[in-house]
Amino acid sequence: MIAGILTATNPETGTIVPRIDLGDWVNSFVDWLTTSFTGFFDGIKSLINGAYDGVDWLFSTPPFWVVALVLALLAMWAKTWRLGLTVLVGFVIIAGVDQWDNAMDSLSLVLVSAVIALVIAIPLGIWAARNDHVSRAVRPVLDFLQTMPAFVYLIPTVVIFLTGDVPGIVATVLFALAPGVRFTELGIRQVDSEVVEAGRAFGATDRRILRQIQVPLALPTIMAGVNQVIMLSLSMVVVAGMVGAGGLGADVVAALQQIDIALGFEAGLSVVILAIFLDRVTSALAGRAPVSRALAKVRA
């Protein structure tokens, strides 16, 4: 019998390992999902479309200089006037290369995707920090999400939601979810246990300890996770241009298909400017947290 196993080779690979139809099983599972939960997925599609259209209308309807000035003032309030001026110059450059509408579409995609990802990630991270069983169950899922190539996320989302903005947003949420969960769990777990015990000694409930002690002390770490979620969302939104998502990703894909260096450079530069704005503002907001200010004073 052993000799028969050793001589029986897989005709496709030429090895003794039998063919495992894992891809076919996943394909069958996705087909079952699409046929069994059509109404559910249609509802999700309508909800995400409505959220995206609303945010996109907010950024695209006013004149570009109004939006650019408001975002520059936000950057100045978050950090310094130098950052505000840099953001304003960057947005003027985006408008100057005729990428303003695409940039606002991409910004809307990023914000909607990041908000959805954070709504899922932060509560899940808190739950994992307070329950070791949940942490052990979530960890391999997060490892899978972080190591899966970005392009693979687009395949099932296109099958379920077809092409357009919605599959791009769903794929972006899956791609950007993991850092939000990990940083939230890490921040909660790093809170000094003696501080938590002191809260319990004064009669505080677990919910009050979470709200008034653990989350405020973990906020700088949680905000670092928010920053990572937003930056990963921006990178995935560009990739999502391959499945019909709007914004700068569509021009990047078009430039690649047409070997158009000029279009690719203009769209890529606009992505970089958006990345600088999102990264600097979210990092600055993390630094404005009371705990971060107290640590900065101690270090000074």
What ranges do the domains of the chain cover? 1-36, 38-299
Residue 75: is its pLDDT beyond 80?
Answer: yes
Please, which pLDDT band fits residue 10 given cuts at 50, 70 and 90? Answer: low
**Top-confidence range, 84-93, 199-208, 251-260, 291-300:** 84-93
Please tell me the least confidently modeled range out of 19-33, 207-221, 233-247: 19-33
Residue 14: is its pLDDT beyond 80?
Answer: no
Please tell me the least confidently modeled range out of 176-180, 208-212, 283-287: 283-287
d(CA 227, CA 231) in angstroms, rounded, equals 6
46/196: higher pLDDT: 46
State pLDDT tens for residues 22-33: 777 777 877 787
Residue 108: is its pLDDT beyond 50?
Answer: yes
Specify the pLDDT at position 291.
Answer: 62
CATH code at 38-299? 1.10.3720.10
Smallest CA-to-CA distance from 241 within 105, 49, 44, 77 is with: 105
Output the CA angle 110-292-210, nearest 5 degrees.
80
Average pLDDT score, the chain: 83
Please, which pLDDT band fits residue 257 given cuts at 50, 70 and 90? Answer: confident
Percent of the chain at pLDDT above 90?
Answer: 22
Specify the pLDDT at position 5.
Answer: 46
Region 177-199: mean pLDDT is: 87
Residue 299: is its pLDDT beyond 60?
Answer: no
105/41: higher pLDDT: 105
Single pTM value for the model: 0.84
Residue 72: is its pLDDT beyond 70?
Answer: yes
Region 12-38: mean pLDDT is: 73
